[in-house]
């Protein structure tokens, strides 16, 4: 395997749920084809429900950290993928003109309301939607 793995940088508002799930899925499904990082406009901490639903799916993200966007990583990324509208609208300027920037919009499961089971159901739905989108990304051979 060459060291020239493409860098995929998943961005979200708080780097607590969606970007963490996308990070976990690409690492789990991408067979080490990519260097994967995630960050947020702010660092809200790793959401325990996100960790739980990913664990249910066989992916351990419990060791992830919630990080703020690093301009150095941002500017060497091959793909910058935002997972919420706020991050898409407020993404810092990327000086790397070769970067591919995509927006994959998913509802924020942390904003779900209702019973614990209803909230967890939202987390699972977002987890599964992100998995499907990551699988599509891999199938397209990006």
Long-range contacts of 128-136 (CB under 8 A, 24+ apart): 130/18, 130/21, 130/22, 130/25, 130/83, 130/104, 130/106, 131/21, 131/25, 131/29, 131/57, 133/22, 133/104, 134/22, 134/25, 134/26, 134/29, 134/30, 135/29
Catalytic annotation on 17?
A: no
* H or E, element range at 27: helix 18-29
Catalytic annotation on 142?
A: no
Catalytic residue, chosen from 12, 50, 54, 110, is: 12
Catalytic residue, chosen from 7, 29, 57, 91, is: 91
Catalytic residue, chosen from 36, 80, 83, 84, is: 84
Residues classed as catalytic: 12, 84, 91
């Amino acid at each position: 395997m060459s060291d020239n793995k493409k860098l995929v940088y998943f961005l979200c508002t708080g780097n607590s749920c969606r970007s963490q799930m996308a990070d976990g899925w690409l690492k789990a499904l991408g067979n080490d084809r990519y260097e994967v990082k995630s960050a947020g406009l702010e660092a809200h901490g790793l959401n325990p429900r996100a960790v739980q639903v990913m664990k249910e799916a066989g992916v351990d993200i419990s060791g992830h950290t919630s990080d703020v966007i690093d301009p150095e990583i941002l500017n060497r990324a091959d793909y910058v993928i935002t997972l919420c509208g706020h991050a898409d609208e407020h993404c810092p300027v990327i000086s790397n003109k070769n970067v591919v920037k995509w927006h994959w919009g998913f509802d924020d499961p942390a904003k779900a309301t209702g019973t614990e089971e209803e909230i967890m159901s939202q987390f699972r739905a977002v987890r599964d939607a992100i998995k499907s989108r990551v699988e599509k990304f891999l199938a397209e051979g990006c």
